[in-house]
Structure 1
Amino acid sequence: MDFAFDARTEELRAKLLAFMDEFVYPAEPVAEEQRARLASPWDTPAVVGELKAEARKQGLWNLFLPDAEYGAGLTNLQYAPLAEITGRSPHLAPTATNCAAPDTGNMEVLAQFGNEQQKKQWLEPLLAGEIRSAFAMTEPEVASSDATNITTHIERDGDEYVITGRKWYISGAMNPDCAIFIVMGKTDPDGADIRRQQSMVLVPRDTPGVTVKRAMQVFGYEDHSHGGHAEVIFDHARVPVTNLIGEEGGGFAIAQARLGPGRIHHCMRLIGMAERAIELMCRRAVSRTAFGKALAQQGVVQNWIADARVTVEQLRLLVLKTAWLMDTVGNKGAHTEIQAIKIATPRAVVGILDRAIQLHGAGGVSQDFPLAELYASARTLMLADGPDEVHQRSLARRELKKYL
Structure 2
Amino acid sequence: MNFSYSEKVVKLQEQVTQFMEEYIYPNETVFRQQQDEQGDRWNKIPPIIDELKAKAKEKGLWNLFLPDDSYGAGLTNLEYAPLCEIMGRSFLAPEVFNCNAPDTGNMEVLARYGTEEQKKQWLEPLLEGEIRSAFAMTEKDVASSDATNIESSIVRDGDEYVINGRKWWTSGAGDPRCKVMIFMGKSDPNAAKHEQQSMILLPMDAEGVTVERMLPVFGYDDAPHGHAEILFTDVRVPAENILWGEGKGFAIAQGRLGPGRIHHCMRLIGAAERSLELMCKRTSERETFGQKISNHGVVQQWIAESRMDIEQARLLTLKAAYMMDTVGNKVAKSEIAMIKVVAPNMALRVIDRAIQAFGGAGVSEDFPIAYMYAAARTLRIADGPDEVHSRQIARLELKKYR
Q: Distance in 2 between matches of 1:108 and 1:182?
A: 12
> The residue matched to 1:332 in structure 2 has which SS?
coil
1:198 matched residue in structure 2: 197
> The residue matched to 1:84 in structure 2 has which SS?
helix
2:55 matched residue in structure 1: 54
1:23-172 alignment runs, 5 A limit = 23-42=23-42, 43-89=44-90, 91-172=91-172
Runs of 4+ off more than 2 Å: none
1:5-404 alignment runs, 5 A limit = 5-42=5-42, 43-89=44-90, 91-191=91-191, 193-224=192-223, 227-404=225-402
Cα distance, 1:190 vs structure 2: 2.3
Q: Distance in 1 between matches of 2:345 and 2:299?
A: 20
Q: Distance in 1 between matches of 2:160 and 2:61?
A: 40
Q: Read off the aligned partner of 1:115 and give its amino acid letter.
A: T
- What's the TM-score, normalizing by structure 2? 0.99
> The residue matched to 1:156 in structure 2 has which SS?
strand
Cα distance, 1:403 vs structure 2: 1.7
> The residue matched to 2:195 in structure 1 has which SS?
coil
Q: Read off the aligned partner of 2:171 and give its amino acid letter.
A: S
Q: Read off the aligned partner of 2:133 and give its amino acid letter.
A: S
Query: Deviation per CA, 1:193-225, whole angstroms, max 9, x where unpaired?
Result: 111000000110000000111111111111126
Q: Read off the aligned partner of 1:147 and give its amino acid letter.
A: A
> The residue matched to 1:393 in structure 2 has which SS?
helix
Query: Deviation per CA, 1:6-62, whole angstroms, max 9, x where unpaired?
Result: 011011111111100100011101001001122421232111111100000000000
> The residue matched to 1:381 in structure 2 has which SS?
helix
Q: Distance in 2 between matches of 1:250 and 1:357?
A: 44
Q: Read off the aligned partner of 1:200 and give its amino acid letter.
A: M
Cα distance, 1:293 vs structure 2: 1.4
- What's the TM-score, normalizing by structure 1? 0.98
Q: Read off the aligned partner of 2:369 and give its amino acid letter.
A: L
Q: Distance in 2 between matches of 1:74 and 1:398?
A: 29
Q: Distance in 2 between matches of 1:401 and 1:10?
A: 39
Q: Distance in 2 between matches of 1:142 and 1:52?
A: 38
Query: Deviation per CA, 1:142-168, whole angstroms, max 9, x where unpaired?
Result: 000000000001111111100000000
> The residue matched to 1:195 in structure 2 has which SS?
helix
Q: Distance in 2 between matches of 1:123 and 1:332?
A: 25
Q: Read off the aligned partner of 1:314 and give its amino acid letter.
A: Q
Once the two structures are aligned, what percentage of the paired residues are identical? 60
Q: Read off the aligned partner of 1:211 and give its amino acid letter.
A: T
> The residue matched to 1:224 in structure 2 has which SS?
coil
Q: Distance in 1 between matches of 2:121 and 2:37?
A: 33
Q: Read off the aligned partner of 1:261 and give its amino acid letter.
A: P
Q: Distance in 2 between matches of 1:47 and 1:219?
A: 25
Q: Distance in 2 between matches of 1:236 and 1:40?
A: 31
Cα distance, 1:402 vs structure 2: 1.6
Q: Read off the aligned partner of 2:207 and give its amino acid letter.
A: P
Aligned length: 401
Q: Read off the aligned partner of 2:189 and give its amino acid letter.
A: P
Q: Distance in 1 between matches of 2:324 and 2:5?
A: 17
Query: Deviation per CA, 1:225-263, whole angstroms, max 9, x where unpaired?
Result: 6x1000011111000000000010000000000000011
Cα distance, 1:81 vs structure 2: 0.3
Q: Distance in 1 between matches of 2:162 and 2:39?
A: 34
Q: Distance in 2 between matches of 1:224 and 1:398?
A: 40
Q: Read off the aligned partner of 1:337 and give its amino acid letter.
A: E
Q: Distance in 1 between matches of 2:38 and 2:165?
A: 32
Q: Distance in 1 between matches of 2:355 and 2:60?
A: 35
Cα distance, 1:99 vs structure 2: 0.1
> The residue matched to 2:200 in structure 1 has which SS?
strand
> The residue matched to 2:327 in structure 1 has which SS?
helix
> The residue matched to 1:214 in structure 2 has which SS?
strand
Q: Distance in 1 between matches of 2:73 and 2:263?
A: 15
> The residue matched to 2:161 in structure 1 has which SS?
strand
Q: Distance in 2 between matches of 1:67 and 1:293?
A: 54
Query: Deviation per CA, 1:269-305, whole angstroms, max 9, x where unpaired?
Result: 0000000000110111011111221111111000000
Cα RMSD after superposing both structures = 0.8
Unaligned segments of structure 1, at least 5 residues: none
